[in-house]
Amino acid sequence: MSDEEKLKKNFKENLFETIDTIVFVVVAVILIRFFVAELRWIPSGSMRPTLLEGDRIVVEKLTKYPTLFKTHSFECNPKRGDVMIFYPPSVKLKTNVWSVFSRLTGFFCKDTAYIKRVIGLPGEKFEIKREASGASYVYINDKRLDESYIMSEYDYPVCKDNMYCGPFIIPEGQYFMMGDNRGGSFDSRYWGTLSKERFIGRAVFLFWPPKRINTIN
């Protein structure tokens, strides 16, 4: 075999090896993003003081599929207080192959996602009450909810007729989502409850900037 033939052979072997590596990495990234975790950044101040604009977070997916390998069904049952990433009701999710692929992998996905906290659960009575002092509080099943994570109980906008402030019963399979910055969050008070099928994952860890590294509670 001539030197030229050896070079061509080595080139082909290296090319195939590189392609195999690229394919493996892409598939691994897709599987990790879909089943394990993905990274997100915070674009607004709706979750202040818990999360600030520009924060980078880890969103875990494992609790979204607790029975995946038992029943092969997708379930998502977040608890009150969980900080969740989701597609709001106003976002129409396309079902063509490319749109589904981009949502599952995060590659070139243009669907708008929100981050809010789970406040009301399916079947619960929800209500926001405003006191004479100007402070507002959430009541679940007629009991005031302890919310040490919010920015201020005085930041609530006054509830209007076109807002969802209760009292009402949250429908089955639906959740009431609110931002910790109650004065600067476009949440369930404005667009209603959220179907569990729209959850993407749960925010669990803040990894950037370094001085704010912490778990998300």
Based on the residue annotation, tell me whether 116 is a catalytic residue of this protein: yes
Per the listing, tokens 């990274």 go with 39
Closest residue by Cα to residue 208 from 62, 84, 51:
51
> DSSP letters along 63-75, please?
GG-TTHHHH----
Which candidate in 61, 64, 116, 196 is catalytic? 116
- The active-site residue out of 46, 136, 185, 188 is 46
CA distances from 71 to 65, 66, 88, 142, 199 (A): 10, 10, 27, 37, 20
Q: CA–CA separation, 196 vs 83, rounded Å?
A: 14
- Exposure string of 51-74, with b = 16+ CB inside 10 Å and e = fewer, is beeebbbbbebebbbeeeeeeeee
Two structure tokens written together for 72: 């092969």
Task: Produce one character per residue of 119-139: b if its CB has 16 or more CB atoms within 10 Å, e if not.
Answer: bbbeeeebbbeeeeeeebbbe
Q: Which CB contacts under 8 angstroms, 24+ apart, belong to 65-72? A: 65/35, 68/35
Q: Per this entry, what is the length of the chain? A: 217
Q: Which residues are catalytic?
A: 46, 116
